[in-house]
Amino acid sequence: MNDSRALSPAIEISGLSKRYGTVEALKGVSFAIQRGEFFGLLGPNGAGKSTLINIVAGLVRQDQGRVAVLGYDTVKDWRRARRAIGVVPQELVFDPFFTVEQVLEIQAGYYGCGREVRPWIEQLIERLDLGGKRRASMRALSGGQKRRVMLAQALVHRPPVVILDEPTAGVDVELRRSLWRFMRELHDEGTTVVLTTHYLDEAQDLCSRIAIIDRGAVRVIESTEQLLARHPFRFLRLKLADGAQLPDALRPLVTGHKNGALELKLERDRHPIGAVFAALKSAGVDIEDVHTREPDLEDIFVELTAARVPAVQQG
């Protein structure tokens, strides 16, 4: 590997465009994911995330632009690019006639791995809690166990870059926790991890940097800390006494109702919490319970995707 490639990002995307008929799935997307990042790629359904992932993985050919994995062009040097990446797809895709061990051995063979990978296969089986199912056929596994096997398949050739496409969709809490514990360990060992998920709490907890893509363009790409700090508001949740009504002046601040409580969205400079309590006291409104919360990633995600924020392009 030459010096320039050794310093290249884990994934570099430049001017990527893709059209399906009249639908422009990607509109000149450009950004880079650095080596060793735990990176979140978020967006609503139909935003272009799957198209982008499929192009990076070499499953779809772009109309324009370039993608490189560890400096290897995914078109011109596709063998090395694909060898450097492991993808866990959202869909459950498996051959029902092979056992767990056979699936992993066959997958390793696709990448030219020999007997030397056997200890790693054993480690994957144990760390993903598949030891009791190693000789079971894939059709005999539960949905959660199939997902564990798919993760093991993506990792069997020890790729330095891993893409997780909705890996915890429809799985139980135990699997979610064990999967993230394992991925944190791999990340700590230097693996670059790219995550797409609709569970935004996962992205907030795991990812150091996040890109939000919508309508085929990147709307924002920032560190998670910057993203959470970009909106100057907080939320106040109030549970009023039975029969109490919110004063008219505060009604425009209500953003929702949950478990009998009202949630108010307060701009820090315009709506001090003290002023809200003063208005409630002046109106003679009794409060049973109250608490505040800072905006989370879901709040910011909804605002950015609903407001049609102009696209940004970053290297």
Render pLDDT for 182-210 as a digit per residue (tens, 0 to 9). 999 999 999 999 999 989 999 999 999 99
Return the pLDDT at 315: 47
C-beta separation of 65 from 29 below 8 A: yes
- Report whether 266 contacts 232 (CB < 8 A): no
Of 228, 253, 275, which one is at a domain's C-terminal end?
228
Phi/psi zone of residue 152: left (φ > 0), alpha (ψ -120 to 50 degrees), beta?
A: alpha
Domain ranges, residue 103: 3-228
pLDDT at 311: 55
- For residue 204, the model assigns a pLDDT of 94
The Cα 173–Cα 168 span in angstroms is 9
Question: Under 8 Å CB-to-CB from 190, ≥6 apart: which residues?
Answer: 35, 36, 160
pLDDT tens, position by position, 66-116: 999 999 999 999 999 999 999 998 877 777 889 999 999 999 998 888 888
Tell me the pTM. 0.83
Residue 299 placed within a domain: no
- Which tokens belong to 20? 């399906």
Q: Is residue 303 part of a domain?
A: no
Contact 276, 262 (CB under 8 A): no
* Residues in a beta bridge with 67: 13
**Per-residue b or e along 22-51, where b marks 16 or more CB atoms closer than 10 Å to that residue's CB:** eebbbbbbbbbbebbbbbbbbbbeebbbbb
Q: Which CATH number do you get for residue 180?
A: 3.40.50.300
In this prediction, residue 271 carries a pLDDT of 87
Give φ, ψ of 18 to 5 degrees. Answer: -150, 130
**Residues 123 and 57 occupy one common structural domain:** yes
**Predicted local confidence at residue 308, as pLDDT:** 53
DSSP string, 218-232: EEEEEEHHHHHHSS-
282 in a structural domain: yes
Whether residue 217 sits in one domain with residue 84: yes
State whether 217 and 288 are in the same domain: no
144 lies in the same domain as 284: no
**Do 10 and 147 share a domain, yes or no?**
yes
Residues 6+ apart with CB under 8 A from 129: 148, 178
> Does the residue 288 lie in any domain?
yes
* Residues 132 and 16 both lie in one domain: yes
In a domain, 305, yes or no: no
> Which of the residues in the chain have pLDDT under 70?
1-6, 307-315
The reported pLDDT for the residue numbered 107 is 92
Structural domain ending residue among the three candidates 196, 228, 260: 228
pLDDT for residue 95: 79
Structure confidence at residue 190 (pLDDT): 94
pLDDT at 310 (0 to 100): 54
DSSP 137: B
Measured N-to-C along each axis, helices 173-188 and 143-155 cross at an angle, to the nearest 10 degrees, of 10
